C-alpha cells in the first residue's frame, strides 16, 4: 500500500479509500464486513461514509461501521474516518417539506449523530455532502472551524461542490484567519461526466471542462477523494461503442446518460489499446490513470470480492507517463507507444 499525508491528520493515510455505501444492514452482515476486513488487511486505513448512507434505512451504514470497528478491536489512532453531513432531505409524502440541510444546526446535529454511531469523539474528515448556494460561506466555514476548536473534526471537506463556491469558501477562510477546505470528494475518472448520473447534484473534476479546478487543487494542496473512479462500470471496457448503439437500454440509466458519450468511448478504447500493449486490464489502466495526474487523488473503491480488490490495488504499481495520460484523455493524438 502507498500512503500519503493529509494536512491536519497525524497518521499516514492509505492512497485508496474503502467506500461503504453498499453497507445497509445496521447489524453488519458478515459478507460486508469481510470486504472491510480484506481492505484493512491490504493496508487500506481510510473509510468513507456519510450520515445519509444506508437507504432505505438511512443512517444504518455508520451504525454497522461502528460495530465493525468495535468487533475488530481497532484502536482509534489506527484508522481515518471520513464522513459527510448536510445531505438534502427529501420527503415524498410532502415535497414542500423537502429542503437542503446546509446550515449550522443541520451540520452539528448530523455530526453528533455520526460520532455516536462510530463510538468516537472526533472524525478526521467532515464533508458537506452537497452545497446550498443560499447558505453563506461565512456560516459554513465558521461552523467548521467551531467543530475544529471543539476537537470534533480535523479536516473540512466539500463533496459535489462547484469550483466557484469552493474558492469562495477558502477565500473567506483565508481572509478571516480560519482553516479552509483541505479535501474535496468529486468524480475523477478517465470518463468525463456529461450529465448527473444520480440527479442529486453530483460533482466532478474530470475532463477538459474542469482543468482550471484541477489546477487550483494542485496549487492549494487540496486532496481529491475520487468517487466512482471507474464511472459506474463504464471504464471496465465492458460497455462498448457498438454494443451500446445496438442496445442502449442494457446500460443502467445513470451510466448511460452520464458517460455513454462518443469522446468517452474513444478514451476507453485508447485505454484498452494501451492495456493490451502493457499486458494489463482496462480497469487497471483506468484506475492507474486517476493517480497519474499532477494533483493528489485518493480513489474510493468498493470491490465486490477479494480478486476485484487485489486487481484494483495493483494499479498502484502501474505508473503511466504524462504522454500516455494525455493520449487517453484526448489532449494529444500522438500515440505514446
Burial class (CB in 10 A: 0-12, 13-18, 19+), 210: buried
The mean per-residue pLDDT over the stretch 159-172 comes to 96
pLDDT higher than threshold 90 for residue 48: yes
Q: Are 105 and 84 in contact (CB under 8 A)?
A: no
The mean per-residue pLDDT over the stretch 266-285 comes to 97
pTM metric for this prediction: 0.91
Rounded Cα distance between 205 and 223, Å, is 12
The 10 Å Cβ neighbour count of residue 140 is 26
**Residue 296's pLDDT is what?**
95
The mean per-residue pLDDT over the stretch 82-94 comes to 72
List the domain boundaries for the chain: 3-328
pLDDT higher than threshold 80 for residue 21: yes
pLDDT (tens digit, 9 = 90+) per residue, 130-140?
999 999 999 99
pLDDT higher than threshold 90 for residue 199: no
Q: Are 60 and 89 in contact (CB under 8 A)?
A: no
Burial class (CB in 10 A: 0-12, 13-18, 19+), 306: middle
Q: Which three cell numbers stand for residue 302?
A: 468498493
Rounded Cα distance between 331 and 214, Å, is 15
| Strand bridging mode 46-48 / 17-19 | parallel
Fold classification of 3-328 is TIM Barrel (3.20.20)
pLDDT higher than threshold 50 for residue 93: no
Q: What is the mean pLDDT of the chain?
A: 92
Cβ within 8 Å of residue 192, ≥6 positions away:
204, 206, 207, 208, 209, 259, 261, 263, 264, 267
**Residue 31's pLDDT is what?**
79
pLDDT higher than threshold 60 for residue 113: yes
The 10 Å Cβ neighbour count of residue 94 is 7
Amino acid at each position: 500500500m502507498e500512503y500519503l499525508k493529509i494536512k491536519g491528520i497525524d497518521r499516514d493515510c492509505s492512497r485508496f479509500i474503502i467506500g461503504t455505501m453498499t453497507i445497509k444492514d445496521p447489524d453488519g452482515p458478515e459478507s460486508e464486513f469481510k470486504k472491510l476486513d480484506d481492505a484493512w488487511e491490504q493496508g487500506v486505513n481510510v473509510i468513507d461514509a456519510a450520515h445519509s448512507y444506508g437507504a432505505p434505512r438511512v443512517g444504518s451504514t455508520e451504525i454497522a461501521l461502528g460495530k465493525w470497528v468495535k468487533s475488530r478491536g481497532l484502536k482509534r489512532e489506527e484508522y481515518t474516518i471520513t464522513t459527510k453531513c448536510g445531505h438534502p432531505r427529501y420527503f415524498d409524502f410532502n415535497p414542500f417539506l423537502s429542503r437542503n440541510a446546509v446550515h449550522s444546526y443541520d451540520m452539528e446535529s448530523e455530526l453528533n449523530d455520526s460520532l455516536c454511531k462510530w463510538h468516537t469523539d472526533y472524525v478526521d474528515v467532515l464533508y458537506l455532502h452537497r452545497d446550498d448556494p443560499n447558505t453563506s460561506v461565512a456560516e459554513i466555514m465558521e461552523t467548521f472551524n467551531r467543530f475544529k476548536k471543539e476537537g470534533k473534526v480535523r479536516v473540512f471537506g466539500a463533496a459535489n461542490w462547484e469550483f466557484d463556491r469552493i474558492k469562495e469558501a477558502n477565500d473567506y477562510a483565508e481572509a478571516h484567519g480560519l482553516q479552509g477546505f483541505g479535501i474535496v470528494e468529486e468524480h475523477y475518472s478517465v470518463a468525463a461526466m456529461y450529465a448527473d448520473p444520480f440527479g442529486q447534484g453530483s460533482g466532478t473534476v474530470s475532463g477538459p471542462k474542469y482543468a482550471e479546478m484541477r489546477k487550483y487543487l494542485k496549487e492549494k494542496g487540496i486532496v481529491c477523494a475520487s468517487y466512482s473512479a471507474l464511472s459506474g462500470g463504464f471504464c471496465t471496457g465492458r460497455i462498448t461503442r457498438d454494443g451500446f448503439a445496438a442496445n442502449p437500454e442494457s446500460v443502467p440509466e445513470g451510466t448511460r446518460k452520464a458517460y455513454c458519450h462518443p469522446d468517452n468511448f474513444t478514451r476507453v478504447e485508447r485505454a484498452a489499446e494501451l492495456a493490451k500493449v502493457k499486458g494489463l486490464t482496462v480497469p487497471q489502466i483506468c484506475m492507474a490513470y486517476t493517480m497519474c495526474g499532477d494533483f493528489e487523488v485518493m480513489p474510493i473503491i468498493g470491490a465486490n470480492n477479494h480478486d476485484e480488490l487485489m486487481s484494483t490495488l495493483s494499479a498502484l504499481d502501474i505508473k503511466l507517463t504524462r504522454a500516455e495520460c494525455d493520449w487517453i484523455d484526448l489532449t494529444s493524438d500522438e500515440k505514446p507507444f
